[in-house]
């Protein structure tokens, strides 16, 4: 038990604590002091960095989906029309474009790039096909956020590399082999070693994607496997 002197000392200690800590508490809750101003600014900076990063990633995902859907559409149109766009003027036989190796002899890679451009609808820099992958570069994304004490300026590079779902190199080689067989007047069954359907003096080819890729065609909301269809005269 404290004596009278002890009580007096304890009371003085309590008063001293109040004198010291009351101003400190007031300072800690005062938003105008430099420490708290820094804390508030730093907290706002963290929030804004997160917001900028989220916006950048959302735009990157959106542009990636646009590239993918454009590839689906380009692949489908090229494959269903013998390497051309759907409005080509080549001869048709039972729904197959007839390749004659003269007026109708498609450059598959060049035509694919043009179809992709048509569907994507925006400028793409350094667009090229290599090893059945489409490479390109879109405009950089710039994200700016300004606060009272800081500024965020984030530049996002936007390059892409996506498979085109058809082996264009193999298909070009197959076209060349067929043309060589025809020029040498060899029977396609003996010359090619590739399955096709013979009907009414034509050979009909349907080459499926060996990678088993699936295309989601947004306009028709269907899922289908990529194929490349064409016909040649086989008199």
Q: Which residues pair with 91 in a beta bridge?
A: none
165 has pLDDT over 60: yes
Is residue 191 domain-resident?
A: yes
Is residue 40 domain-resident?
A: no
Token couple for 120: 């994507």
Is residue 13 domain-resident?
A: no
Q: How far apart are the first and last CA of the chain?
A: 121
What's the mean pLDDT in 168-177?
94
Q: What is the pLDDT of residue 120?
A: 94
172 has pLDDT over 90: yes
What's the mean pLDDT in 78-105?
95
Count up the domains in the chain and report the number.
Answer: 1
Is residue 82 domain-resident?
A: yes
Report CA Rg, the chain.
35
Measured N-to-C along each axis, helices 34-80 and 108-120 cross at an angle, to the nearest 10 degrees, of 130
Q: Which SS3 state, helix, strand or coil, does residue 101 take?
A: coil
Higher pLDDT, 175 or 64: 175
Is residue 64 domain-resident?
A: yes
Q: Is 115 exposed, middle or buried (0-12, 13-18, 19+ CB in 10 A)?
A: buried
104 has pLDDT over 50: yes
pTM listed for this prediction: 0.74
Q: What is the pLDDT of residue 143?
A: 63
Q: Which range marks the domain in which residue 124 is found?
A: 51-233
Higher pLDDT, 96 or 218: 96
| Closest CA relative to residue 100, chosen from 178, 48, 164 | 178
Q: What is the pLDDT of residue 74?
A: 94
48 has pLDDT over 70: no
Half-sphere exposure of 206 (CA within 13 A, CB side): 8
Is residue 6 domain-resident?
A: no
Q: What is the pLDDT of residue 31?
A: 46
List of E strands, the chain? 92-93, 96-97, 125-130, 133-146, 151-163, 197-199, 202-208, 215-217, 222-224, 227-233
What's the mean pLDDT in 56-74?
86
Higher pLDDT, 209 or 1: 209
10 has pLDDT over 90: no
What's the mean pLDDT in 60-82?
91
Q: What is the pLDDT of residue 3?
A: 47
């Amino acid at each position: 038990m404290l004596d009278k002197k002890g009580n007096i000392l304890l009371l003085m200690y309590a008063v001293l604590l109040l004198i010291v800590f009351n101003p400190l508490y007031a300072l800690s809750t005062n938003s105008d002091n430099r420490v708290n101003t820094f804390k508030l600014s730093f907290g706002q900076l963290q929030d804004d960095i997160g917001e900028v990063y989220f916006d950048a990633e959302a735009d990157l995902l959106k542009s990636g989906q646009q590239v993918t859907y454009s590839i689906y559409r380009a692949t489908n149109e090229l494959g269903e029309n013998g390497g051309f766009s759907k409005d080509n003027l080549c001869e048709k036989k039972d729904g197959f474009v007839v390749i004659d190796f003269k007026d109708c002899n498609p450059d598959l890679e060049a035509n694919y790039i043009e179809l992709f451009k048509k569907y994507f609808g925006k400028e793409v820099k350094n667009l090229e096909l290599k090893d059945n992958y489409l490479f390109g570069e879109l405009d950089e994304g710039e994200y700016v956020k300004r606060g009272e004490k800081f500024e965020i300026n984030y530049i996002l590079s936007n390059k892409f590399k996506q498979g085109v779902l058809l082996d264009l190199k193999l298909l070009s080689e197959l076209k060349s082999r067929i043309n060589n067989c025809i020029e040498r007047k060899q029977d396609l069954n003996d010359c090619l070693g590739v399955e096709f359907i013979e009907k009414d003096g034509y050979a009909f080819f349907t080459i499926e994607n060996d990678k088993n890729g699936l295309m989601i065609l947004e306009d028709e909301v269907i899922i289908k496997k990529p194929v490349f269809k064409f016909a040649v005269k086989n008199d």
